[in-house]
Amino acid sequence: MKRVAVLLASGFEEAEAIVTIDILRRLDIDVDTLACAESRAVVSYHNLPMVTDYTLTGQQESLYDAVVLPGGPQGSMNLAVNPQVIAFITRHDAAGKLICPICSAAARVLGGSGLLKGRRYVCSGDLYETVTDGVYVDAPVVEDGNLLSGKGLGHIFDFALALSARLLGDDKPVRDHAAHIYYPW
């Protein structure tokens, strides 16, 4: 079974996280939510409290098939300044695992740490103007090797379904599920 880590820092965009987690779990993909803080309790961008499955510290040595980085202005900044987050992403990227930033996370976390490595990506707004090590593409979802990025909340179903198809290696169950939830994918 494929395993996904969703990294949550204080201020994360809750809908980007929850929709992605929901779609992955509906397709029987194992998802661990990891708090990038000392405790498992984190508060979202719109002040919704959430208790994660684990802390990042407790799972630092685990290797997942994909690492999802929800955006949120404060959430992505908190991810970007956390050395454990950068080390976790770097290790997964080096192992060829999927790195999956959403919204501001591509520019702030990956771009801000030199982790885009010339790959094509998408992010929200004009944040791409601050990135020097990647190639910005204006699209809902952009895939380049093991980097799968999503533009933002308005395209989160496309992102979650594309990630699911990559992980499953088959888009038929994903398309069936999209039809089940009345989403034209």
Ranges of H-type helices in 27-145: 56-59, 73-80, 83-94, 105
Nearest to 175 by CA among 19, 1, 23, 6: 23
As separate numbers, helices (DSSP H) first and strands (DSSP E) second, the chain gives 7, 11
On whether the CB atoms of residues 109 and 124 are closer than 8 A, the answer is no
> How crowded is residue 114: how many other Cβ atoms within 10 Å of its Cβ?
13
pTM of the model: 0.97
pLDDT (tens place) for every residue of the chain, 185 residues total: 999 999 999 999 999 999 999 999 999 999 999 999 999 999 999 999 999 999 999 999 999 999 999 999 999 999 999 999 999 999 999 999 999 999 999 999 999 999 999 999 999 999 999 999 999 999 999 999 999 999 999 999 999 999 999 999 999 999 999 999 999 99
Q: β-pairing, 49-51 with 141-144?
A: unpaired
pLDDT of residue 182: 96
Structure confidence at residue 169 (pLDDT): 97
Could you write out the DSSP letters of every residue in 56-80?
HHHHTT---SEEEE---HHHHHHHH
Amino acid at position 9, single letter:
A
CA gap 42, 47 in Å, rounded: 9
